[in-house]
Structure 1
Amino acid sequence: MKYRQSRKNSIKEGGWWSVQNGCGDNYLTAFFELLGLKASTISFISTFPVLFGSLIQTFILKKFFFKRSKKKTLIILCAIQGLCWPALIISAYINNTFLLVTLIMVVYYSVVSAQDPPWRAWMGSIVPKPIRGKYFGIRLSISGIVLLFSIAIAGAILENFSSSDAYLGFVIIFSLAFIGRIVSIRYWNRMFEPKTSDDNQLLDSSNFDQDQTVYLKFLTLYQFSVNIIVPLWPVYFLRDIDFSYAEYSYILVSGNLIGILSHYFWGKFIDRFDSLFTTFLGGWIMAFLPLLWYFLFYLDPEFKLPYSIILFSIASFAASGANLGLNNWVLDIHEDKNIIAFSTKMVKYRGVAIFLGGITGGGLTLLEVPKITTAIPIGTSIHYAIFISSFMRLITMLSLSSLVNNRTKNDY
């Protein structure tokens, strides 16, 4: 009974987390754009804190939370994360905005990274393997519905204030993000934490078997290739394509709607086949998408929004499969006793990959746009990042897809 109730509370917690994500995380880059930061600077702010957080998360867990339960650890970390939203609101009034925003984001992603290992271990202990695909599919679907409404409401608020006081719009949506995170703590507190013999999990994460090595290799290459362009999408849409906040929110909402509808499908797909095959299938679909965004720049204005909505919806469908597959894959290849150790290492690899991808993409935006007509037209420096991201995604999938044929029947 305790396990079932905890799973229900976890779904409710995920819903309130989605309020934070929809009103906060989804508009962070748009906030940086409002502050007038360059594309390369935005890439740095979006990725360096992730790198720093991934590298320091083991220290945070060992130094401050090693003797605490997973529940207490997550409650404290979530509270710190929530307080970062009012800090961001204040940051725009400080002279050295860049340094303060970077510092806040470093704290934000440090506690976010530190949440990952205990969360995976806790969820792995209360969600049996036979129902993980279905459960996480349902959890993501419900969270996604809340996320959808949160993004739409936040977009409407920003559009309403865009002509008078755009900053006030961000004050309102970041306040909603703060409320969402703080309320979610209530449901963490209601969940049951089983006792596990994982006291020394954080001490040894050096030895990986073949399955774990394959996972880390794919995760690293996948995150690197994707994050060459991901931090730059809001800049591309808002500056280069000149979408309004409302049009930008339409794209986010439509894509997330497809993501929501596909979560249950992907969850059942994982239970029928396996996590590895699902991850690679979603990854292959995503490999070809960046090049299609290149053509958006040259479309007639009346076609740009519907084209973006359709393309982002396809991307969300593929990303839902890849990400749900990744989340279940890491649970499938571990027993409860070593999930924290591997997760801490996994977060580090992911953080390094995200940072290197972001720096690569940001660096590419510093290249000059040719003033003369070239064989492949370059309308904005972000097109360089689009081409390189697409190339690296193809390299990633070609180098690793051969593993699918050998492992689709394995029981991870």
Structure 2
Amino acid sequence: MRTEADACLRRDLRYVYGDGVTYSLMLGLGETYVPAFALAIGMSEVAAGWIVAIPMLAGALLQLVSPLAVRRLRSHKRWVVICASLQAASFLGFFIAAVAGRIPDALLFLIAALYWGTNLGAGPAWNTWVETLVPRTIRARYFAVRGRSCQAAALLGTVGAGLALHLGASIELTVFAVLFALAGLSRGASTWFLARQSEPYPMPHHQRDVRLADLIRRMRHGADGRLLVYLLALQTAVQIAGPFFTPYMLGELHFSYLRFLTIVATAFIAKMAAYPYMGNLARRWGSQKLLLVCGAGIVPLSALWIFSHNLVYLLCVQVVGGIIWSGYELAVFLLFFERIDHSERTSLLTLFNLTNAAALVGGALIGGLLLGALGSTAAAYHKIFGLSGIARILTLVLLMRLRVSGPLVSAASIPARTVALRPNTGALQHPLVGGMGGDEDAEID
């Protein structure tokens, strides 16, 4: 009996690992280049920026439906597999658009909404499910190994896709069609790995729902509220410029895909390489000081793009930005998990993701409307980069008012799931709740 249980565990660990790697490969091959594809088929630069921002709200809203869907299906696994299957199918829409060479803007936004809706909609249920598959004693080490492999897969996909687009510039849309087909197949493989995993506890009983009214109440009182308000304010400020770096590089500066790839990959590599060192700083300084330093460091990053478009200069900006964003995200993860009860984590993070997505869309709408009004020129881009910097300065008032405790959670025990690659932040990551806890020194045979 023990041998059978061990065999099931090892099989589940292999499948969880396989799901992560193939999912990450999909990100690099497909999602990273959706704004570039939007430009290639003739969408405006504003719309190409919005295509990776506005549809994320659909994902955040679908997360609210997730608990009801899980209860109706009486299974976290079934809901996750359904979402993953639909996400894989969304690439069929991108593929058809690439083959046709044109698509109405509204339809492309609808396809992107399906992609993001199913991507983020599966997140809470997957977090709860995976926590029942990976024993607590090996979680930290297992998800650290898995995380590094996922980062490598995302980078491999990004580099491979960028090189293919660079070399196939004369048949650009054909290359996009092939990339979207490969991305869909990667997510299809990920779905197969998900379907092969066991589900020992279809409906765990240790989860507690937090209502939106409770989250708003917490935002109005005490240190928790000040932290949440700061995070949402900074998200809004950052997203005034964030979605428009890709249109700026490809549409305005006319960078080659090789240059674009180099800039995106540099931020991603710098961010991932800095993460362990930021963990050491979190242990030495505490999470609040790390947040103060990195939150201040974020302020000038968008404005630095105004001064030059020299490749070496921008690569230096990307390295600095990747390092700063690494520390900021780690500090935020630590502060969240030291202050949220274990039974509320999935529910509360779901609600936070909704408010965070609303802030993201709000910032993107401000930046896009301003860019459209000013005419999508280099000077117009510089204005929204500068406005984003000014808005970030204003968030420093909120940052300086924070008074929160030092880390109670080990920096090494909070793995993250990459859900997108972005030129300005390196990667968009969500904390992997189900990967927390356990003995970091435990071995995986």
Q: Pick one of 46, 59, 62 that aligns with 1:53.
A: 59
Structure 1 letter corresponding to 2:63: Q
CA contact (8 A) 2:12 2:198 kept: yes
What is aligned with 1:227?
Answer: 239
Q: Does 1:408 align with 2:406?
A: yes
CA contact (8 A) 1:138 1:264 kept: no
CA deviations on 1:204-239 (whole Å, 9 max, x unpaired) are 453244465344323312321221111101111112
CA deviations on 1:241-261 (whole Å, 9 max, x unpaired) are 221011111112222222222
Deviation (angstroms), 1:172: 1.5
CA contact (8 A) 1:369 1:379 kept: no
Q: Does 1:288 align with 2:295?
A: no
Structure 2 CA distance for partners of 1:6 and 1:170, relative to 1, 3 Å: same
Deviation (angstroms), 1:79: 1.3
Deviation (angstroms), 1:344: 2.3
What is aligned with 1:142?
Answer: 149
Q: Pick one of 91, 112, 123 that aligns with 1:105.
A: 112
Deviation (angstroms), 1:55: 2.5
What is aligned with 1:339?
Answer: 345
User: TM-score, length-normalised on structure 1?
Assistant: 0.84
Alignment of structure 1 residues 6-21 onto 2, 5 Å: 9-21=15-27
Structure 2 letter corresponding to 1:234: T
CA contact (8 A) 1:62 1:202 kept: no
What is aligned with 1:386?
Answer: 385
The SS at the match of 2:122 is helix
Identity %: 22
Q: Which moved more, 1:18-27 or 1:93-102?
A: 93-102
Distance 2:68 2:347 in 1: 12
CA contact (8 A) 1:275 1:329 kept: yes
What is aligned with 1:237?
Answer: 249
Distance 1:135 1:388 in 2: 42
Structure 2 CA distance for partners of 1:262 and 1:335, relative to 1, 3 Å: same
Distance 2:285 2:301 in 1: 25
Structure 2 CA distance for partners of 1:121 and 1:322, relative to 1, 3 Å: farther
User: TM-score, length-normalised on structure 2?
Assistant: 0.78
Deviation (angstroms), 1:151: 0.9
Deviation (angstroms), 1:125: 6.0
Deviation (angstroms), 1:9: 4.8
Alignment of structure 1 residues 258-273 onto 2, 5 Å: 258-270=270-282
Q: Which moved more, 1:13-22 or 1:254-263?
A: 254-263
What is aligned with 1:183?
Answer: 189
What is aligned with 1:321?
Answer: 327
Deviation (angstroms), 1:339: 2.1
What is aligned with 1:353?
Answer: 359
Structure 2 letter corresponding to 1:344: T
Distance 1:284 1:136 in 2: 30
Deviation (angstroms), 1:165: 1.2
The SS at the match of 2:372 is coil
Deviation (angstroms), 1:129: 8.8
Deviation (angstroms), 1:65: 5.4
Distance 1:272 1:128 in 2: 29
CA deviations on 1:299-350 (whole Å, 9 max, x unpaired) are xxxxx11112221122122222323443454343333422232122112101
Structure 1 letter corresponding to 2:38: F
Structure 1 letter corresponding to 2:385: I
**Gaps (5+ residues) in structure 2?**
1-5, 411-445
Alignment of structure 1 residues 49-128 onto 2, 5 Å: 49-63=55-69, 66-92=72-98, 93=100, 96-122=103-129
Structure 2 letter corresponding to 1:407: S
Alignment of structure 1 residues 207-226 onto 2, 5 Å: 207-208=214-215, 209=218, 210=222, 212-226=224-238
Structure 2 letter corresponding to 1:87: G
RMSD, aligned α-carbons: 3.2
Q: Which moved more, 1:350-359 or 1:246-255?
A: 246-255
What is aligned with 1:252?
Answer: 264
CA contact (8 A) 2:226 2:398 kept: no
Q: Which moved more, 1:81-90 or 1:136-145?
A: 136-145
Structure 1 letter corresponding to 2:295: G
Distance 1:219 1:120 in 2: 22
Structure 2 CA distance for partners of 1:281 and 1:75, relative to 1, 3 Å: farther
- The count of residues paired between Structure 1 and Structure 2 equals 397
Q: Which moved more, 1:82-91 or 1:10-19?
A: 10-19
CA deviations on 1:166-189 (whole Å, 9 max, x unpaired) are 101111211221122122234434
Structure 2 CA distance for partners of 1:155 and 1:344, relative to 1, 3 Å: same
What is aligned with 1:151?
Answer: 158
Deviation (angstroms), 1:276: 5.1
Deviation (angstroms), 1:80: 0.9
Q: Which moved more, 1:214-223 or 1:15-24?
A: 214-223
Structure 2 CA distance for partners of 1:265 and 1:126, relative to 1, 3 Å: farther
Structure 2 CA distance for partners of 1:409 and 1:104, relative to 1, 3 Å: closer
Structure 2 CA distance for partners of 1:255 and 1:411, relative to 1, 3 Å: closer
Structure 2 letter corresponding to 1:188: L
Q: Which moved more, 1:173-182 or 1:188-197?
A: 188-197
**Gaps (5+ residues) in structure 1?**
298-303, 371-377
Structure 2 CA distance for partners of 1:203 and 1:391, relative to 1, 3 Å: closer
What is aligned with 1:22?
Answer: 28
